Structure 1
Amino acid sequence: MKRIITLALAMCMVFGAALNASAAEIKATGNMWVGYDYLNKDNDGKTNDFVQRFRTQIDIVASESLSGTVFFEINNKWGQTKAGNVGGGSGGAIGADGVNIQTRRAYLDFLIPNSAVKVRAGIQGFALPGAVAGNVVLNDDLGAIVASTSYSNVDFTAFYGRPYDRKDADGNDMSDSSVDIYGLVAGINFDTITVSPYAMFAAAGKNAQRTDGTAYNNDTQWYGVALEATPIQNLVLSFDGVYGKAADKDAGFLVAGKAAYTTNYCIPAFMAWYGSGDDSDGEGLMPTLDNGGDFTATTLVGEGAVGPTSDAVFGNALGKWGIALQAEEITFIEKVSHIARLTYIRGTNDDSNTNLDIENWGEDDSALEIDFVTTYSMYDNLDFVADLAYVATDFDSDNAASNVDNVFKAGILAVYSF
């Protein structure tokens, strides 16, 4: 009997050890926003929406060498849904019950054995370097394989991705319909300066399209650099430069710089950018892989709004130049902080272009934008945010948006982070 008990205990220990060895640690993080968004584009119409968004990321960690991640999102505008109550953004109308869970990311992380090379494979967030206000070419979720490693003071990243792969009307694969990207990024770290050069190439099939249905059938190349320096204590200097060219068009570029100084009460900063525009032949605007909105020049130039509220009313920073005075992390009252920004913006596209509108500006189109964001941290995990923007525009009569004299945006949000 003692032998049987001893054998049973030994077997329990063996199986217990095996279970512990295969167990994975599960971590969940995320946030939830609920709020109100108001946008008035003068004579071009107004909207007022109640919005909410839930995001959660689940990491399944087996070890320091292996993990998997999934990232889900549910977003709604109250009173709105989609056909059949199915798809992202559905379920906001009466009755709710939308089939609306979106998979934003799903990828594996692993180390190659006996090396310092880390690989991430799957649908993931990937951004090219951007030191001033993000990267205008690529900062988005896409299916990709990314390998990274470090040697001494240099970080290396090589990547492949497939952002677009078109299907026909019956849902079948088409030939020559995909866009594949390849690229290299280096991060060179010195004592007071970090330099991050990069290059990316897009090979496009003749039948390729973006997700909005517009054609993307030109091979494209980009070369850029992001730089951040701290020459003296509390002073940070940033610079971005990127050049891009499609196979059948002239090249375009964007350069940007920022100087910020940290004080006890705020971080005052000066920022400027210049994005080349189309000439009279419709060439000169730099191509982008997605919509270019991730260079957040202001609240309404680029995707600069806080949370799931309206932004990018004036498109992206390409085809425009601007200068901004701003102050970040303004704190006079405990748990309350502000961001204030004043920006002058002007177009760089030739005035003879026929496609000038509220997003695409000619050289005679300009605006002055005032942004003000207030954050009140009620609890450690709960913030209330007021996101305000006012823009006085001066569009030329050749611009289709010449009847828009001013734009006002207000967003009020409660944000729970976990």
Structure 2
Amino acid sequence: MKRIITLILAASLVLGGVCNASAIDFKAKGEWLMNFDLGTGGKFVSKGRDGKNAVGNYRAAGHGVEDNFEARQRVRLELTAVASEALSGTVFFEMGDSVWGASNSLYGGGGALGADGSVVELKRAYIDWVVPSTDLKLRMGIQGYYLPSETFGSAILMEDGAGITASYKFNNNVSLTSFWLRPYNDNATATNTGDTRVSANYLDNVDFFGLVMPLDFEGIKITPWVMAGAIGENFDRTNVNFATEIAGGSKVYNGASPIDFRRNTTALVAPPGALDDNARHLLRADAYSSAVWAGLTGKITLADPFRFSWDFNYGSVTTGREEYDRSGWMLSALAEYKTEWGTPGLVGWWGSGDDGNIKNGSEIMPFVSIGSGGYNLSTLGTWGEPWLSNDGIMGYNAVGTWGFGARIMEFSFVEALKHNIRVNYFRGTNDPDMAGYITGTRSYKGQGKATGLSDFNSYGTYLTTEDSGMEVNLDTHYDIYKNLDMWVHLGYIHLWLDDSANMWGGYDKKGNSHGLNATDAWRASISFRYSF
């Protein structure tokens, strides 16, 4: 009997060793986020050109359906199965955003009485593996795509998408990353426009290909990059509401209005697209529009703790019809000095703007998509923090504007309590004549108002060289426990807009001119995050 027991134990040890050798190591992380937000949502203008309250003018860039006070929550869970250093798989789930009390999934469903909302989303799912006997790393699947930036975050692409990324490190100073991203495909339908000439899923794909080469040396880092691609002429002929589903924009997708481009996926094409009001798509001449972006980012730390960094980006989309083409550039810079109590800094940026000719397309830099919490020039006007608050009310990024500001990051005089303060002044770089095509004081091809609504911020914000503004942010971070922190966000924006009748002002029924009835934007929110 002892001999039999000994054999069983020996066999168990052998089998156990085999199981351990082939075991998968699971790693999990996630966060629970609760947010309570009070603010005006950036409803800068409450009346239309006729002097009456206009529903369109109650919505700022993507926040027209929000109340002044809202409570939200979100849960994110990420699970990675690690087979070895050369092979792993990751799946990333997101539950929410859920607005407390809301049942409609478009507006954060699952928070109404009874709950049970269908709000579980697949955020990312990919595999990482190394080509055998090489140092070439591959990532395949739905993943995060972030173009290089050393200042505020990429003004072109910071978003999740499906594709393949390959990276290779030549040495400690030089590496190369290439990628293929397919943001859209198989979404087109004929039913949403009633155009029987469009068959389902025909010429509706969008593909981007990119190269990024970081050059990292002691005290200086420079990263040149390029991204090119093709945009199918029917990619936006779809029942998918891009403005709401992708960018949190206006409820009705009506093409690329002169002010809508700041927010949604039609930032790939020129503003005049909205002037074809008979279709919800863009009547481009080429089957595939060609797109190209290029940039050079850099960071100098030779005089550490002083740091200077910059981003220069250029982008162009050619459609085959000049009036729909779009090309432009953007330069941003950051200088900061790190101390024991915080990091003060100065910021500046300049983005090209539209000229006064509506027939030659747009001169604002095209962009793809900016995810929440990516573009941290500010935390109210731009998409600068990921805490579900009412931010990004001026647009995802700062294209079509120039400005400068001062900030102090992570300054603290009390343990576990830190603050970020930002003060920015900005001004539009767009020709005032373009505002006339938005309001209808100017016409193109015999048409009046491009959007069908009225005036400033109907579908976003569009600043001309006659318009300027100022933003102040104070964000406070407190560590309650090791895994529980609290954020308090305070933000305020004031705009100085040209309210003359030929700009954003208007006329009443008697022909008398009136101003904008403009108001300031503000936000106060508190967020709690449990992370592990």
TM-score under structure 2 length normalisation: 0.74
2:344 to 263, 268, 276: 268
Q: What amino acid is aligned across from residue 423 of structure 2 in structure 1? A: L
Structure 1 position 330, deviation (Å) = 1.1
Match of residue 37 from structure 1 = 37
2:473 to 371, 383, 393: 371
Q: Pick closer, same or farther for the CA change 1:306–1:404 going to 2, 3 Å.
A: farther
Of Structure 1 and Structure 2, which has the larger fraction of its residues in strand? 1
Contact 1:292 1:302 in 2 (8 A): no
Q: Larger relative CO (CA 8 A, sep 6+): 1 or 2?
A: 2
- SS of 2:13's partner is helix
- SS of 1:218's partner is strand
| Larger deviation, residues 91-100 vs 140-149 | 91-100
Structure 2 CA distance, aligned partners of 1:90 and 1:149?
42
Contact 2:380 2:492 in 1 (8 A): no
Q: What amino acid is aligned across from residue 103 of structure 2 in structure 1? A: T
Check if 1:357 corresponds to 2:481: no
Of Structure 1 and Structure 2, which has the larger fraction of its residues in helix? 2
Structure 1 position 35, deviation (Å) = 2.2
Structure 2 CA distance, aligned partners of 1:406 and 1:279?
28
| Larger deviation, residues 337-346 vs 206-215 | 206-215
Structure 1 position 275, deviation (Å) = 1.0
Q: Pick closer, same or farther for the CA change 1:170–1:108 going to 2, 3 Å.
A: farther
1:62 to 78, 83, 95: 83
1:159-238 → structure 2 map (5 Å cutoff) = 159-165=179-185, 166-168=187-189, 174-209=201-236, 211-212=242-243, 214=255, 218-238=289-309
How many positions carry a matched residue from both structures?
A: 415
Match of residue 258 from structure 1 = 334
Q: What amino acid is aligned across from residue 290 of structure 1 in structure 2? A: S
| Larger deviation, residues 10-19 vs 50-59 | 10-19
Match of residue 281 from structure 1 = 357
Structure 1 CA distance, aligned partners of 2:179 and 2:139?
9
Match of residue 71 from structure 2 = 50
Match of residue 138 from structure 1 = 157
Structure 1 position 52, deviation (Å) = 1.0
- SS of 2:117's partner is coil
Q: What amino acid is aligned across from residue 416 of structure 1 in structure 2? A: Y
Q: Pick closer, same or farther for the CA change 1:365–1:87 going to 2, 3 Å.
A: closer
Structure 1 CA distance, aligned partners of 2:355 and 2:101?
44
Query: Deviation digits for residues 24-63 of structure 1, max 9, x if unmatched?
Result: 1111112111121112135545621011111121111111
- SS of 1:298's partner is coil
Contact 1:361 1:399 in 2 (8 A): no
Structure 1 position 205, deviation (Å) = 1.7
Structure 2 CA distance, aligned partners of 1:225 and 1:205?
28
| Larger deviation, residues 27-36 vs 59-68 | 27-36
| Larger deviation, residues 238-247 vs 200-209 | 200-209
Structure 1 CA distance, aligned partners of 2:94 and 2:304?
40
Match of residue 244 from structure 1 = 315
TM-score under structure 1 length normalisation: 0.93
Structure 1 position 243, deviation (Å) = 0.5
Query: Deviation digits for residues 188-219 of structure 1, max 9, x if unmatched?
Result: 01100011110001212221128346466522
Q: What amino acid is aligned across from residue 257 of structure 1 in structure 2? A: A
Check if 1:311 corresponds to 2:311: no
Contact 1:306 1:387 in 2 (8 A): no
Structure 2 CA distance, aligned partners of 1:170 and 1:341?
47
Segments of structure 1 that go 5 or more residues without pairing to the other structure are none
1:381 to 483, 506, 511: 483
2:99 to 46, 62, 77: 77
Structure 1 position 5, deviation (Å) = 5.2
Q: Pick closer, same or farther for the CA change 1:402–1:231 going to 2, 3 Å.
A: farther
Structure 2 CA distance, aligned partners of 1:8 and 1:72?
43
Contact 1:33 1:307 in 2 (8 A): yes
Structure 2 CA distance, aligned partners of 1:357 and 1:71?
39
| Larger deviation, residues 102-111 vs 394-403 | 394-403
- SS of 1:147's partner is strand
Segments of structure 2 that go 5 or more residues without pairing to the other structure are 47-57, 59-66, 193-198, 244-252, 256-265, 269-287, 320-324, 439-454, 506-514
Q: What amino acid is aligned across from residue 318 of structure 2 in structure 1? A: A
Match of residue 411 from structure 1 = 525
Query: Deviation digits for residues 277-329 of structure 1, max 9, x if unmatched?
Result: 11112420111112587433212332113511111111130001110101011
